[in-house]
Chain A
Amino acid sequence: DAGVIQSPRHEVTEMGQEVTLRCKPISGHDYLFWYRQTMMRGLELLIYFNNNVPIDDSGMPEDRFSAKMPNASFSTLKIQPSEPRDSAVYFCASSKELGTSGSNEQFFGPGTRLTVL
């Protein structure tokens, strides 16, 4: 398997523009996570899905952020309008239900480095 795929790898945009980040999870994984990583705040969970349904979006910073998962192999994170403080690395991760055992390991993509000027 190719692992979690994210695109684009780098995005530079101007304040006020719409940004769309994309993720393809590992085939067969039924959980998908979106994280944001900054030096100041570390790795923060934004939202996660189970079987394409959003389960917990309490980490989404504000209404400018939205995420969708239209099918099991694709998810998007959209920021509209973008602001300089949104600059960060955004990671997508996927995981497979392991029942009552195991750590529910999350497999991360390579991330999208977003810069908002």
Chain B
Amino acid sequence: QKEVEQDPGPLSVPEGAIVSLNCTYSNSAFQYFMWYRQYSRKGPELLMYTYSSGNKEDGRFTAQVDKSSKYISLFIRDSQPSDSATYLCAINTGGFKTIFGAGTRLFVKA
């Protein structure tokens, strides 16, 4: 079993839709939960991070962690064509060795 599981998609939605992206993980020691966004032909960039359980909101983006279920989510409200990218969940125990999910390709159609 992989330490982080993420559906690669692709996920295609119309502009304005609410997008839900998810990952599951297996190691309960993980404490930091991150979402990276990767545009085509570019390197990943940190979008949001959450420590332990709970929600974190930043504009149209909300990151959610449920440690009891080992489940993390990223919600995008009012999705825009500029949100089209690959979204990678990433987790670590607080150190520098970060494990990335496979990434979900998102397409937002105008």
Residues of A within 8 A of B (CB): 4, 31, 33, 41-43, 45, 48, 50, 55-56, 91, 93, 95, 100, 102-106, 108-111
Binding site secondary structure of chain A = strand
Could you say which of B14-22, B71-79, B89-97 contacts chain A? B89-97
Q: Which of B42, B43, B92, B101 contacts A104 (CB 8 A)?
A: B92
Within 8 A of A (CB), among B1-46: 32, 34, 41-46
Question: Shortest CB–CB separation between residue B32 and chain A, in angstroms?
Answer: 5
Q: Which A-B residue pairs are the 3 nearest by beta carbons? A: A108-B43, A103-B49, A42-B102
Question: Shortest CB–CB separation between residue B48 and chain A, in angstroms?
Answer: 9
Question: Shortest CB–CB separation between residue A22 and chain B, in angstroms?
Answer: 15
Indicate if the CB atoms of A103 and B97 lie closer than 8 Å.
no
Residues of B within 8 A of A (CB): 32, 34, 41-46, 49, 51, 88, 92, 94-103
Q: Which of A43, A48, A108 contacts B45 (CB 8 A)?
A: A108
Tell me, in angstroms, the Cα distance from A104 to B96 when the chains sit together.
7
Tell me, in angstroms, the Cα distance from A45 to B44 when the chains sit together.
13
Indicate if the CB atoms of B42 and A48 lie closer than 8 Å.
no
Across the interface, which residues of B come within 8 angstroms of A108, CB to CB?
43-45
Across the interface, which residues of B come within 8 angstroms of A104, CB to CB?
32, 92, 94-96, 98
Question: Shortest CB–CB separation between residue B43 and chain A, in angstroms?
Answer: 3
Closest-by-CB residue of A relative to B31 is A103
Tell me, in angstroms, the Cα distance from A68 to B74 when the chains sit together.
36
Indicate if the CB atoms of B43 and A111 lie closer than 8 Å.
yes
Indicate if the CB atoms of B98 and A45 lie closer than 8 Å.
yes
Indicate if the CB atoms of A95 and B96 lie closer than 8 Å.
yes
Closest-by-CB residue of B relative to A111 is B43
Which of A4, A42, A48, A100 lies at the interface centre, i.e. has the most chain B CB atoms within 10 A of its CB?
A42
Indicate if the CB atoms of B43 and A91 lie closer than 8 Å.
yes
